[in-house]
Homo-oligomer: A and B are copies of this chain.
Amino acid sequence: MAAERLVVIGGDAAGMSAASQARRLKGPAELGITVFERGHFTSFSACGIPYWVGGEVGERDDLIARTPEEHRARAIDLRMRTEVTEIDVAGRRVHARDLETGDGAWTPYDKLVVATGARPVRPPLPGIDAPGVHGVQTLDDGQSLIDDLHRTEGGRAVIVGAGYIGVEMAEALLHRGYQVTVLTRGAQPMATLDPDMGRLVHRAMDGLGITTVTGAEVTGIRTDADGRVRAVVTDAAEYPADVVVLGIGVEPQTALAGAAGLPLGAYGGLLTDLSMRVRGHDNIWAGGDCVEVLDLVAGRMRHIALGTHANKQGQVIGSNVGGGYGTFPGVVGTAVSKVCDLEIARTGLREKDARAAGLQFVTATIESTNSAGYYPGAALMTVKMLAERRSGKLLGVQIVGREGAAKRVDIAAVALTAGMTVEQMVSLDLGYAPPFSPVWDPVLVAARKTVAAVRKAGL
């Protein structure tokens, strides 16, 4: 019997996790695996780029979990710099073009994995493609930014967008000695938090010497005589810039899948079932930044580009295409980040998410410390909690604080997954010792106050 043919489009986290896991389950005699990757690298950590740019991570290659050669050594036929230009679903084949030679050819498949990732949103503004304006999605993006920093050292950096990438890049460029301005359309930075929590981030960024401009609608990029970026222009002002970083978010890269008739959701991401199989297609799977995921708390699909989901989904796909079994049940929306020593975390629903989901809710916000108040270095953290009215079911948690703040959100992530009420959370047996927590962990203090809010709201 001839080997089954698996084709994977995209050689980053999801695609290579899928290929590797499938290879673990089936040898080359049973399963042939071909991966097409458009870029120069495989299995790299896009999330690590800010730390490479900031100088904390020394080398580009530190961000590469596995090289093409390592993948090939595991009997994966990896075609680098090769772009898939068409999926012929009916004919079960993909057309791929070698970006160096320009040669194209069809490759047949029995099973297909689509892992084409996401790309940074780049609004069609005048000057947006000028030299000096950078995205930070790929290692090539990162390298080009770093090269540019060598030319503009210690100058003025403007970051467009104040989400995770924006604040992480603000930290990176601060480390590099830049004068950093962050422009955001929102009322506060970190729109993944409620504005009252975003305000805490804003204040901390002020304290770090980062200028944050809220309510700023970018209308264009002003360039100099050589066509290089000179300033970022908003509806209200102009911000001189030697270098500009775009951190406005990313969108699923699904033009290829869409053209092939594969189902896309409201955010443009591929729609899959729980086994990560593309809906309506028995032999096509998709995972990583190009898919939409089920938000288990809101009960709806979302697009969340995050390496940890991509890796898990790739693993699930690899198990299923390799004859094993796995599912990706969905997410609760956990995210952590930091800007210098400020830690930021969230999981579940913000107020506006809860409203959009048709949920009535109460909130409580508390301030406590990461360790016992008397322990040296005890630092304040603020925890905001949302619970459903009446049922008291936990809906979301947001945390802003210093060391030891962010990963506490995991407590809430597990509680959300388990469908716990805030009342149940109050009794949680969490780790306590003075260096690690006050006698009531801040998450428990928030749960107690939220219980009171649920009671007060009544039936």
Q: A312-B427, A331-B429, A429-B333 are in contact. Are A410 and B413 (CB under 8 A)?
A: no
Q: Are B336 and A439 in contact (CB under 8 A)?
A: no
Least CB distance from A101 to B in Å reads: 33
How many whole Å from A446's CB to the nearest CB in chain B? 14
Report chain B residues within 8 Å CB of A372.
45, 47-48
Would A413 and B435 be within 8 Å (CB), given that A48-B372, A48-B375, A376-B57 are in contact? no
What is the oligomeric copy number?
Answer: 2
| Those of A357-381 within 8 Å (CB) of chain B | 372, 374-376
A311 contacts across to B, CB distance below 8 A:
439-440
A434:B375 contact, CB within 8 angstroms: no
**Which of B327, B334, B432 meets A307, CB within 8 Å?**
B432
Which of A69-77, A86-94, A414-422 touches B?
Answer: A414-422
Q: Which residues of B contact A407 (CB under 8 A)?
A: 404, 407-408, 431, 436-437
Q: Is A411 an interface residue (CB 8 A)?
A: yes
User: A168: nearest residue on chain B (CB-CB)?
Assistant: B433
Q: What residue of chain B has the Cβ atom nearest to residue A440's Cβ?
A: B311
A335 interface hit (Cβ, 8 Å): yes
Residue A406, interface by CB 8 Å: yes
Contact with B along A299-324 (1 / 0, CB 8 A): 00000001111011000000000000
Q: Could you tell me the distance in whole angstroms from the C-beta of A419 to the nearest C-beta in chain B?
A: 8
Whether A406 pairs with B428 at a CB distance below 8 angstroms is no
The chain B residue sitting closest to A164, CB to CB, is: B433
Distance, CA A205 to CA B432, complexed state (A): 22
Bound complex: CA of A57 vs CA of B327, how far in Å? 49
A164→B63 CA distance, assembly (Å): 38
A406 contacts across to B, CB distance below 8 A? 431, 433, 436
Interface code A329-369, partner B: CB below 8 Å = 1, 0 otherwise?
Answer: 10111111110000001010000000000000000000000
Mask, A273-309, CB within 8 Å of B = 1, is: 0000000000000000000000000000000001111
Q: Which of A307, A372, A435 has the most CB of B within 10 A?
A: A435
User: Cβ of A13 < 8 Å from any Cβ of B?
Assistant: yes
The minimal Cβ–Cβ distance linking A417 to chain B, given in whole angstroms, is 6
Q: Is the CB of A338 within 8 A of B376?
A: no
The smallest beta-carbon distance between A216 and chain B, in angstroms, is: 25
Residue in chain B with minimal CB distance to A451: B326
State whether A413 touches B439 (Cβ < 8 A).
Answer: no
Among residues of B, the one whose C-beta sits closest to the C-beta of A64 is B374
- Choose among B57, B410, B430, B432 the residue that contacts A431 (Cβ–Cβ < 8 A): B410
When the two chains form their complex, are residues B417 and A428 in contact, meaning their CB atoms are under 8 A apart? yes
Which interface residue of A311, A415, A439 has the most chain B CB atoms within 10 A? A439
Q: Please pick, from B168, B328, B432, the residue contacting A306 in the complex, using a CB distance under 8 A.
A: B432
- Given contacts A312-B427, A335-B431, 19 further A-B pairs with CB under 8 A are A45-B439, A57-B374, A57-B376, A307-B439, A308-B441, A309-B429, A312-B426, A312-B440, A334-B430, A335-B433, A336-B432, A347-B429, A407-B431, A410-B428, A413-B430, A414-B415, A414-B418, A414-B420, A417-B429
